[in-house]
Amino acid sequence: MPEIIEVPVCGMDCAECAAHVERAIASLPGVEAVTVLLAAEKAIIRGDPSRLTPEVVRAAVEAAGYQVPATAPAPAGHGEAGAALARRALTLFGLIFGAVLFVVVVGEWLGLLATITDRAPFWIGGGLVFLAGWPVFAGVIRAALRRQVTAHTLMGLGVLAALAVGEWATAAVVVFFMRVGDWVERFTAEQARQAVRRLDALAPRMARVEREGVEVEVPIAAVRPGDVVVVRPGEQIPVDGEVIAGQATINQAAITGEPMPVEAGPGVNVFAATIAQFGSLRVRATRVGEASTFGRVVRLVEQAEAQRAGVQRLADRFAAWLLPVVVTLAVLTLLLRRDPLATAAVLVVACSCSFALATPVAVLAAIGGAARRGLLIKGGRYLEALARADVLLVDKTGTLTLGRPRITEVIALGEHNEARVLALAAAAERYSEHPLAEAVRLAAVERGLTFPAPQQFTALPGQGVRANVNGLEVAVGNARLLPPGFSVPPAAEELVAAGRTLFFVTLDGAPAAVLGAADGERPEVARALAAVRQARIGEIVILTGDSAPAAAALAERLGVAYRAELLPEDKIAIVRDYQARGHRVVMVGDGVNDAPALAQADVGVAMGVAGSDIALEAAHVALMRDDWMLLPEVLRLAQRTMRVVRFNLGFTVAYNLIGLSLAAAGLLPPVLAAAAQSLPDLGILANSARLLRLRNMPGQPI
């Protein structure tokens, strides 16, 4: 049976490195699929574990020029200190780069480089070039032996061309800027990784567990579901679990991005990586480590890199075509102009690395930064789809509304007793997770009614539930459960006019009661929808299984369209219809009964999914808390990210065209071409850093 195997990989500095590792592993027997994640520094392999031993995989990775460490890279815990160090390093690098660039430009202009070349023996200059550039040349040679082309292949040819015409000083400058380019790529990749590492650094490492009445501090890997974990004031909660004793104020920012703390006491579920600011707790663990909500968030953010945006694939194809185009242009320059220096300049000035950097840096920065604010985006393809979306479909119950409906009226039909019917309805709804089921149970408890467990229980998607309660068939749900010809009593019609949601109770197939329920709207919805419209969403539609009058009342208040009395398959059909007409569809729901529609949409957005397995898996974007203002925030973030990516790509294309034209015309000497070659990487880094530096609080404009 195929299994998923994760292998840490070190030494990758750019998307091209990850592609080389991916090809090396994919060539192994027993591999069905492989994805190499640059930011997470790991390879995720699906294949036969009996054939893919650690030794076999390590040999393939090392043959590609990279390393497999004994353990996975440790998460960075540098925080602001690490960021400050990186800023100082970048500043120092900028000063050195600027100084060297100034010397090169002025030296070329004054003819000093030619003087140095004339006076120093060629063998000394050539030796220095090969000594300084050997790490790069070795990589090019290894790639050539594997029939692969790297970003350094062009520059390596440029160095050889410069040496061939006796311009060893030019070759030395080319090598210097090749090494500069390597440093920029490593720095850029490291900055992208920091978004993931800062998240991973928040993961709990130790837990205080009760063992035989004694508190023992153990590594998190030693904690098992069912263990009782003790959390003291100011400590991090190490597991997902249920509070069984104690009271505390919990800071849940690590999960939801929400800075306001919440209160937790017995019966309340808490999450790993959150902090008990005041008070202590005893928590019975339900999920630990990677299985916890926080662990799964980190894992999904890591794997988001694999969901590449379409624009990134376009850039990859463009980069693949760049080498033959540049080599062809160099040959034409040599044949037509008979100018070896211009030919060398053409080979040197081309910037293939910048195409590889243009998209992933911006996307990883956006995804990592969003995760810290409670926005979990599963990949660049969904950022791109969000940026182009024009239709928003919204589930009603639990999404536009608070999801905590209350039974406001019980109308018994015929000779049925109101209390008895409500108790039977609560028994039938005992195992249902629907918000209306919880409302029925709560109404029965508030009236002091007791209700037994059903002997049989069946959920009827889009209709309700059916159960056997003490030999009686009890059904609770919408009008689809009613026999043909049933007419709603006048009292119930008045409830519809008041905006109540109606559902019905039948006993052995005969109508027994009408229940009226009301659910409050989320207070921020109207403001959030106005912001969504400003984000160029042209059509907003409510999709609900509720009655048409109840849906119409809400839609009118919000100024949107609606489709009512829908089954789950109806919602999927509506999503597909919009897609067939060329629209980019965003579907927002709570991830419970609308999970199939979320999966079908171009982007499925699940609201308030902390602790919800179904929603985390089904949605492409997960809002970790119930706050509608996160939706316009993620739309604006997607649009801004795509603007950064488009600028990066446009800048790179224009820069290459101008540089190649000047070099081919003999207007750009090889030494200046070498200096110019590194500038696009710096420009892309600076432009993408605007996303890396985002500091907005949740709900604020980006």
d(CA 515, CA 531): 36
Full 3-state SS string of 394-413:
EEHHHHHECCCCEEEEEEEC
Question: Using one digit for the tens of pLDDT, what is the confidence trace for 473-532?
Answer: 999 988 888 888 777 787 777 777 676 778 899 999 888 898 988 877 788 888 999 999
Residue 117 pLDDT > 70, yes or no?
Answer: no
CATH number of 206-238+240-287: 2.70.150.10
What's the pLDDT at 427?
Answer: 93
What's the pLDDT at 313?
Answer: 63
Question: Using one digit for the tens of pLDDT, what is the confidence trace for 216-232?
Answer: 888 888 889 999 999 98
What's the pLDDT at 574?
Answer: 93
What's the pLDDT at 701?
Answer: 37
- In this structure, are residues 276 and 237 in contact, taking their beta carbons and an 8 Å threshold? yes
- In this structure, are residues 19 and 37 in contact, taking their beta carbons and an 8 Å threshold? no
What's the pLDDT at 673?
Answer: 78
308: confidence class by pLDDT, cuts 50, 70, 90: low
How much is the pTM? 0.65
Residue 92 pLDDT > 90, yes or no?
Answer: no
| 100, two tokens | 């060297």
200: confidence class by pLDDT, cuts 50, 70, 90: low
Question: Using one digit for the tens of pLDDT, what is the confidence trace for 426-451?
Answer: 999 988 877 788 889 999 999 999 89
Instruction: Say which of 13, 200, 240, 395 is annotated catalytic.
Output: 395
The structure tokens 């009593």 sit at 489
Consecutive H or E run containing 640: helix 630-664
d(CA 260, CA 279): 16
List the beta strands (DSSP E) in 220-331. 228-231, 240-251, 262-264, 269-270, 275-287
Q: Tell the CATH superfamily of the 406-518 domain.
A: Calcium-transporting ATPase, cytoplasmic domain N (3.40.1110.10)
What's the pLDDT at 236?
Answer: 86
What's the pLDDT at 522?
Answer: 83
Residue 409 pLDDT > 70, yes or no?
Answer: yes
Instruction: Determine which of 103-107, 202-206, 678-682 has the lowest per-residue pLDDT on average.
Output: 103-107
Q: What percent of the chain has pLDDT over 70?
A: 76
Residue 649 pLDDT > 70, yes or no?
Answer: yes
d(CA 635, CA 416): 52
d(CA 208, CA 212): 13
76: confidence class by pLDDT, cuts 50, 70, 90: very low
What's the pLDDT at 196?
Answer: 58
| 641, two tokens | 């990210």
Q: What percent of the chain has pLDDT over 90?
A: 13
- In this structure, are residues 362 and 512 in contact, taking their beta carbons and an 8 Å threshold? no
Q: What is the mean pLDDT of residues 334-347?
A: 83
Residue type (1 letter), 375:
L
Burial of 284 (0-12, 13-18, 19+ CB in 10 A): middle
Residue 82 pLDDT > 50, yes or no?
Answer: no
Name the average pLDDT for the chain. Answer: 78
Chain Cα centroid distance, residue 341: 47
Annotated active-site residue 395? The verdict is yes
Where are the domains positioned within the chain?
A: 3-63, 79-197+301-363+639-692, 206-238+240-287, 406-518
What's the pLDDT at 71?
Answer: 58
Look at residues 664, 103, 694 and name the one whose alpha carbon lies nearest to residue 336.
664
| 289, two tokens | 């480590």
Candidate ranges 78-92, 602-616, 631-645; pick with highest mean pLDDT: 631-645
- In this structure, are residues 492 and 411 in contact, taking their beta carbons and an 8 Å threshold? yes
What's the pLDDT at 426?
Answer: 93
Instruction: Determine which of 5-9, 120-124, 461-465 has the lowest per-residue pLDDT on average.
Output: 120-124
Q: What is the mean pLDDT of residues 104-127?
A: 61
What's the pLDDT at 583?
Answer: 93
What's the pLDDT at 79?
Answer: 42
Residue 202 pLDDT > 80, yes or no?
Answer: no
129: confidence class by pLDDT, cuts 50, 70, 90: confident
What's the pLDDT at 444?
Answer: 92
CATH number of 3-63: 3.30.70.100
Give start and end residues of each alpha helix (H) in 40-167: 54-63, 79-110, 112-119, 122-145, 151-164
16: confidence class by pLDDT, cuts 50, 70, 90: low
Instruction: Determine which of 32-41, 83-92, 507-516 has the lowest per-residue pLDDT on average.
Output: 83-92
Chain Cα centroid distance, residue 291: 18
* Cα 245 to Cα 212, 225, 227, 281, 498, distances in angstroms: 17, 17, 14, 6, 43
Q: What is the mean pLDDT of residues 167-182?
A: 71
Residue 11 pLDDT > 80, yes or no?
Answer: no
Residue 576 pLDDT > 70, yes or no?
Answer: yes
Residue 166 pLDDT > 50, yes or no?
Answer: yes
- In this structure, are residues 482 and 504 in contact, taking their beta carbons and an 8 Å threshold? yes
What's the pLDDT at 296?
Answer: 72
What's the pLDDT at 696?
Answer: 43
Going by the DSSP 8-state scheme, the letter that residue 33 receives in this structure is: E
d(CA 642, CA 318): 18
What's the pLDDT at 106?
Answer: 54
Q: Which residues contact 484 (CB under 8 A, 6 or more apart)?
A: none
User: 406-518: same fold as 206-238+240-287?
Assistant: no
